[in-house]
């Protein structure tokens, strides 16, 4: 009655054999099974149900103090044990957790099939091959893995690949974004809590480590964890034990940990913000995801891959990227890395009307980050060509100087060539500003091929933030 009031559709069976048949026929989200039943012992029924369907959670109901039977039920695969007399809140919480775990597993299966059919580490650059090799070596082990790299470089994909190729592939893959969960909730989210453990804890909650038992937990942005949470994660890694908030005892778990961060953890250790012992525990197998600007040869196959992925959906019309468009995309800085490239390709597929995407389309639609050539990427460690031609003197207050567009003073330059170069650079900057930094219009205005203008931008290290508005 309580279950139906809560919105559950319930089927009843009076005997073990009837329950087994109903489970086979109806494929329920969960099964409540009494240990003491006429016709068949509950443990026998449990074994029969698990033999036919190993993934439907079975919650056993036992009499008070029947500890040996309860332990045997857990060993035979029961999800949870409910003790008589039954408490409505306890039953509802256990049932919700069981159904959530089954749903999580089904989502993992769906994602795995999707990943196997689509997502993969695309590219044949040396860096990408290195990532694939490291992933293949890490997958069959139980070692913890620490994946580092800028945002958008594919850290989650690497973690999923490791899980998918491991012996834990059929078990849950649980992702936790440590930076997105408020500090006051992160412990409860990771380790669970008991009813009444804190204000608002109206029911018991199973933590992510327990949900991932037998599988893998992916701790994304692990560098953002508080010192207190770091200490509890370290305990899990050292002892395999989870301590839910408000519980006096610990829970044993067999959960593989893969962590990722876009921060320099050694730097954070030096600043006292990250535990060195936790770093050593996590960094057993280090994998680095390089930024896209360091593997530009992967950009053409990535574009091709994204086009195939998007046009596989009937809502996207197939389009072809011309060599000029590919070359233009390959020259961009991609501060958002693969994620930004993916978004740009999708935007172009949606917005361009024709069957072919040209370099001009890239300029018009792909977004402002594409206006800065690769050589001027502020995030990359790079030098500006012909820096000696720039007028002397640092910017007031330090940092990058903005520049006026006045004709330079000839006496500030050592050679005629330096003066010519600086004059040409100022001319190009003026024309870019006049044409609102539209590369195609600027190239037409100064009567030069677009490809030549790109070369000049790279030669002079020109980027939009240099201009004094």
- What length is written for the chain? 469
Residue 377 clears pLDDT 50, i.e. is over it: no
pLDDT over threshold 90, residue 269: yes
- What H or E segment, with its residue span, contains residue 145? strand 145-148
* Mean pLDDT, all residues of the chain: 81
Question: Other CB atoms closer than 10 Å to residue 142's CB: what's the count?
Answer: 11
In CATH terms, 293-371 corresponds, of 1.10.8.60, 3.90.230.10, 3.90.226.10, 1.10.3720.10, to: 1.10.8.60
CA 168 to chain centre: 19
The residue that leads in pLDDT, 268 or 106, is: 268
Residues of the chain with CATH 3.40.50.300: 118-290
Q: If you average pLDDT over residues 66-70, what whole number do you get?
A: 68
Cα–Cα distance measured from residue 110 to residue 455, given in angstroms and rounded to the nearest whole number: 46
CATH homologous superfamily for 2-101? Response regulator (3.40.50.2300)
> pLDDT for 278-313, tens place per residue?
999 999 999 999 999 999 999 999 999 999 888 876
Does the pLDDT at position 99 exceed 70? yes
pLDDT tens by residue, 196-229: 777 777 777 888 999 899 999 999 999 999 998 9
- Helical segments of 27-76, H only: 42-52, 67-75
Strand partners for 205: 193
Residue range 221-253, pLDDT digits in tens: 999 999 989 999 999 999 998 888 887 788 889
How is domain 401-466 classified at the architecture level of CATH? Answer: Orthogonal Bundle (1.10)
Distance in angstroms (rounded) separating the CA atoms of residues 126 and 242 = 40
Q: Where in the chain is the domain with CATH 1.10.10.60?
A: 401-466
The domain 118-290 is classified under which CATH number: 3.90.180.10, 3.40.50.300, 3.30.460.10, 3.30.920.30? 3.40.50.300
* 407/376 Cα distance (integer angstroms): 23
- pLDDT above 80 (res 451): no
Where in the chain are all domains bearing CATH 3.40.50.2300? 2-101
DSSP result, 345-391: HHHHHHH--SSEE-HHHHHHHS-GGGGS-GGG-TTS--PPTTGGGSP
């Amino acid at each position: 009655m309580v279950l139906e009031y809560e919105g559950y559709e319930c089927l009843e069976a009076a005997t073990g054999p009837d329950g087994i048949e109903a489970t086979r026929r109806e494929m329920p989200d969960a099964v409540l099974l009494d240990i003491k039943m006429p016709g068949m012992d509950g443990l026998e029924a449990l074994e029969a149900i698990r033999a036919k369907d190993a993934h439907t959670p079975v919650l056993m109901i036992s009499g008070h103090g029947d500890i040996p039977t309860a332990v045997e039920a857990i060993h035979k695969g029961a999800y949870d044990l409910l003790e008589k007399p039954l408490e409505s809140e306890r039953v509802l919480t256990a049932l919700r957790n069981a159904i959530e775990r089954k749903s999580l597993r089904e989502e993992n299966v769906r994602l795995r099939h999707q990943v196997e059919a689509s997502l993969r580490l695309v590219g044949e650059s040396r860096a990408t091959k290195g990532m694939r090799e490291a992933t293949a070596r890490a997958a069959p082990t139980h070692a913890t893995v620490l994946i580092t790299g800028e945002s958008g470089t594919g850290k989650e994909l690497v973690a999923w690949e490791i899980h998918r190729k491991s012996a834990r592939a059929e078990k849950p893959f649980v992702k936790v974004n440590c930076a997105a969960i408020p500090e006051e909730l992160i412990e409860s989210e990771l380790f669970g809590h008991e009813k009444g453990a804190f204000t608002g804890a109206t029911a018991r909650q199973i933590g992510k480590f327990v949900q991932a038992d037998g599988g893998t937990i992916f701790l994304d942005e692990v560098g953002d964890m508080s010192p207190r949470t770091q200490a509890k994660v370290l305990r899990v890694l050292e002892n395999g034990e989870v301590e839910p908030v408000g519980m006096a005892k610990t829970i044993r778990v067999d959960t593989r940990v893969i962590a990722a961060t876009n921060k320099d953890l050694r730097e954070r250790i030096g600043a006292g913000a990250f535990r060195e012992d936790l770093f050593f525990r996590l960094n057993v197998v280090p994998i680095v995801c390089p930024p896209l600007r360091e593997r530009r040869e992967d950009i053409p196959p990535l574009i091709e891959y994204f086009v195939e992925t998007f046009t596989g959906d009937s809502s996207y019309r197939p389009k072809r990227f011309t060599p000029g468009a590919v070359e233009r995309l390959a020259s961009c800085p991609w501060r958002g890395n693969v994620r930004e490239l993916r978004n740009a390709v999708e935007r172009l597929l949606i917005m361009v009307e024709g069957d072919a995407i040209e370099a001009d389309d890239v300029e018009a639609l792909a977004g402002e980050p594409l206006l800065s050539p690769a050589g001027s990427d502020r995030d990359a460690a790079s030098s500006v060509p012909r820096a000696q031609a720039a007028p002397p003197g640092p910017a007031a207050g330090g940092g990058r100087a903005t520049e006026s567009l006045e004709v330079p003073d000839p006496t500030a330059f050592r050679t005629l060539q330096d003066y010519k170069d600086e004059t040409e650079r100022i001319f190009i900057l003026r024309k870019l500003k006049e044409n609102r930094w539209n590369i195609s219009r600027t190239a037409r205005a100064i009567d030069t091929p677009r490809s030549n203008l790109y070369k000049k931008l790279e030669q002079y290290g020109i980027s939009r933030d240099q201009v004094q508005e």
